[in-house]
Amino acid sequence: MDLSYLREHPAQLPVFIKHQRIRETPVPGGSICTAQRLTLDDGGSLFAKSLADPPPGFFAAEAAGLRWLREAGAAPVPEIIAELPDLLALEWIDHGEATPLGAEELGRGLAGLHRAGADAFGAPWRGYIGTLPLPNDSSTSAWGPWFAQFRLRPFLDASADALTNADITAVERVMSDISRYGGDEPPSRIHGDLWPGNVLWDRGGRGWLVDPAAHGGHRETDLALLGLWGGVPHHDRLMAAYQEAWPLADGWRERVPLHRLYLMLVHTALFGSAYRESVRGLLRGL
């Protein structure tokens, strides 16, 4: 039982786990899924994440996004070894620390990933962010109205119990006037949930993209999220390398709160009023 066999027979993975043919070691994996390191007979390892009774197509959505990001051949993305309805197994990445050169490499890789583009905003697969459905309705019209309808509105509606009426009115004002922020671009190939925790740094200091909510979107969304909660290590070096590879449009700094508002509304929808002040801070920034 080795990696080559598992690639050819991925459906056998639960059987080998059940009959203890694979050593399981719990590892940190976030608050939603159970994460484990699986050690095979040949000493090779996999990263596996599982969820009891997941929403329909939950792991299929993540797998589709990972494959799509890998196809660009730009930024490091783990290989999928096994995709099952309640489990996803990926190549194992030995954890390390970010380096300035690794951050610069990731900045250039993200520019290449985004340049790979998308046929439209949205995606042809069912989307999720956390366990929440992520509407991937396709659009080839301007980015702003699509972002308001499919990235802000759904999570604002899901946050009704976490926000005040004044908060909701303020977000709706942003949505109704979204064209004034500018920044319209053709759809980029984006990770979609690229907060710093979804960059995994390996022993060589390179950054790998994990846990995507991938879709055709605005490249500024990925870059805005990378700066949340203190930002990725060597954030300034990453951004400088990105800008050198593919400069951002004028006004991108003023649009950062707009792109972050999407993820903060996801958080109020998932975790409640604990993130209300974060939403308000972004609204003040707009």
- Per residue in 180-190, pLDDT tens? 999 999 999 99
**Mean pLDDT, rounded, for 94-108:** 97
> Which letter does DSSP use for residue 56 in this model?
T
Residue 37 CB neighbours (<10 A): 16
Q: Give the pLDDT of residue 24.
A: 77
Q: Give the pLDDT of residue 7.
A: 82
Q: Give the pLDDT of residue 16.
A: 75
d(CA 73, CA 189) in angstroms, rounded, equals 12
Which residues does 133 contact at the CB level (< 8 Å), separation at least 6? Answer: 55, 126, 127, 154
Q: Give the pLDDT of residue 15.
A: 76
- Kindly tell me if the per-residue pLDDT of 19 is higher than 70: no
**Mean pLDDT, rounded, for 3-24:** 77
Q: Give the pLDDT of residue 177.
A: 95
Question: Residue 232 in contact with residue 238, Cβ under 8 Å?
Answer: yes
For the chain, the helix, strand and coil percentages under 3-state DSSP, each to the nearest 5:
50, 15, 35
CATH architecture of the domain formed by 100-285:
Alpha-Beta Complex (3.90)
- Per residue in 34-86, pLDDT tens? 899 998 877 889 999 999 899 999 999 999 999 999 999 999 999 999 999 99
Q: Give the pLDDT of residue 1.
A: 66
**Chain mean pLDDT for the chain:** 94
* Sequence ranges of the domains in the chain: 3-91, 100-285
E-strand stretches of 112-218: 127-129, 132-134, 188-190, 199-201, 207-209, 215-217
CATH class of 3-91: alpha beta
- Per residue in 134-174, pLDDT tens? 999 999 999 999 999 999 999 999 999 999 999 999 999 99
201 vs 31, higher pLDDT: 201
